[in-house]
Amino acid sequence: MKTICKGISNHSQKGEVLDMHFSSIKFNGKEIENNLFKLNNDNQKLFEISFNEDTLNDPIKDIRDAYLKLHLLSHKFVLPNTINLEGLFTILPNIVWTNQGPIALEEIDARLNESKFHGNNLYIRSIDKFPCITDYVIPKKVRIADSSRVRLGAYLGEGTTIMHEGFVNFNAGTLGKAMIEGRISSGVVVGNNSDLGGGSSTMGTLSGGNDVKISIGENCLLGANSGIGISLGDNCTVEAGLYITAGTKVTINENNNTKLVKASNLSGLSNLLFYRDSTNGMVVAKDNIKVSELNEALHKND
């Protein structure tokens, strides 16, 4: 099945593509439709492309592929971890992101100097391969306190609230209402009604050799400054300040006998409370009798 897309691309003075904004996408019965306007900038071009949905399983070979897949994720046409993003970092160039649009690294010194003599109106927001989501996609019924901390390619469920210290990488996000004051790393998906406390962290797959994608189920709570390198099922809580890696030794009670297991053996299980016993320093997992609940007033986001 062919899918048609239209939009605008920005180019360097050498003609290299810096980014692509997809104004119109028709995909798998869903549609995003915005007007295209006449251009008055020689460094911008309108485009119309078509692609076969089967190509979403192919590695990324150019900037068109990269920005198309990032747009599909942020428009919620596809779920995280369901399309092939191999080659993304290799293909995307490092860009200077400014209030006047993307600028090539080799051109920024001259542009910044020119700005100083003509109103000082050029503001550099970041130097990165990825732009922020809100320069391309405005998620519906979502609150983002600092949009520079949410990359294009993030998938945000309705009712999600991302506070100032929250961060959401590409190919990651939330499937429903969620309070995000911690870090959702690439490849990590958070279930409905879950809460990532301030400074909490989830282990992703971009660095450190980790190739295991983890997830957080529904009604979960990561306490402030906690972290996980294993998946959580539904109704799980991790105590504030506790970081659980796959190799963490955890004490459990099985048939009235105390047993020591690796945390990886508990990955994905539901109804668990993880905490550190303050008397002996051991990490313990036991039945979680309290279900995390979000404040409804904080997640309407209409």
Report the pLDDT value the prediction gives residue 2, as an integer from 0 to 100: 75
H helix or E strand, kind and range, residue 96: strand 95-98
Alpha carbon distances (Å) from 221 to 18, 132, 249:
39, 26, 21
Name the domain count of the chain: 3
Could you tell me if 82 and 194 lie in one domain?
Answer: no
CB–CB of 128/149 below 8 Å? no
Could you tell me if 243 and 292 lie in one domain?
Answer: yes
Q: Is residue 301 part of a domain?
A: no
What six digits make up the tokens of 7?
């939009």
Could you tell me if 39 and 80 lie in one domain?
Answer: yes
Q: Is residue 302 part of a domain?
A: no
Q: Is residue 25 part of a domain?
A: yes
Closest CA to 228 of 259, 188, 255: 188
Per-residue burial over 219-235, b if 16 or more Cβ lie within 10 Å, else e, is bbbbbeebbbbbbbbbb
Q: Is residue 34 part of a domain?
A: yes
Q: Is residue 21 part of a domain?
A: yes
CB–CB of 222/196 below 8 Å? yes
CATH number at residue 104: 3.30.60
Could you tell me if 59 and 187 lie in one domain?
Answer: no
First to last CA, the chain: 35
For the CA atoms of 208, 96, 150, 4, what is the dihedral angle to 10 degrees?
A: -100
Q: Is residue 82 part of a domain?
A: yes
| pLDDT by 10s per residue, the chain, length 302 | 678 899 999 999 999 999 999 999 998 888 899 999 999 889 999 999 988 888 899 999 999 999 999 999 999 999 999 999 999 999 999 999 999 999 999 999 999 999 999 988 999 999 999 999 999 999 999 999 999 999 999 999 999 999 999 999 999 999 999 999 999 999 999 999 999 999 999 998 765 556 788 999 999 999 999 999 999 999 999 999 999 999 999 999 877 789 999 999 999 999 999 999 999 999 999 999 877 677 676 666 77
Neighbouring CB atoms inside 10 A of 271's CB total 16
Give the full edge-to-edge strand order of the sheet including 160-162. Answer: 143-144, 160-162, 178-180, 194-196, 221-222, 237-238, 272-276, 283-287, 249-254, 257-262
* Global model pTM greater than 0.95: no
Could you tell me if 49 and 112 lie in one domain?
Answer: no
Could you tell me if 194 and 228 lie in one domain?
Answer: yes
Q: Is residue 165 part of a domain?
A: yes
CATH number at residue 20: 3.30.70.2010
Report the pLDDT value the prediction gives residue 210, as an integer from 0 to 100: 61
Report the pLDDT value the prediction gives residue 1, as an integer from 0 to 100: 64
Secondary structure letter of residue 150 according to DSSP: B
Q: Is residue 183 part of a domain?
A: yes
Could you tell me if 253 and 160 lie in one domain?
Answer: yes
Residue range(s) defining the domain that contains residue 21: 2-91
Could you tell me if 144 and 265 lie in one domain?
Answer: yes
CATH number at residue 254: 2.160.10.10
Could you tell me if 54 and 157 lie in one domain?
Answer: no
Could you tell me if 54 and 144 lie in one domain?
Answer: no
Give catalytic residues, as residue numbers: 181
What six digits make up the tokens of 45?
């071009």
Could you tell me if 229 and 80 lie in one domain?
Answer: no
Q: Give the angle 137-145-64 at the CA atoms, nearest 5°.
A: 25
Could you tell me if 10 and 63 lie in one domain?
Answer: yes
In whole angstroms, give the CA distance from residue 1 to residue 26: 11
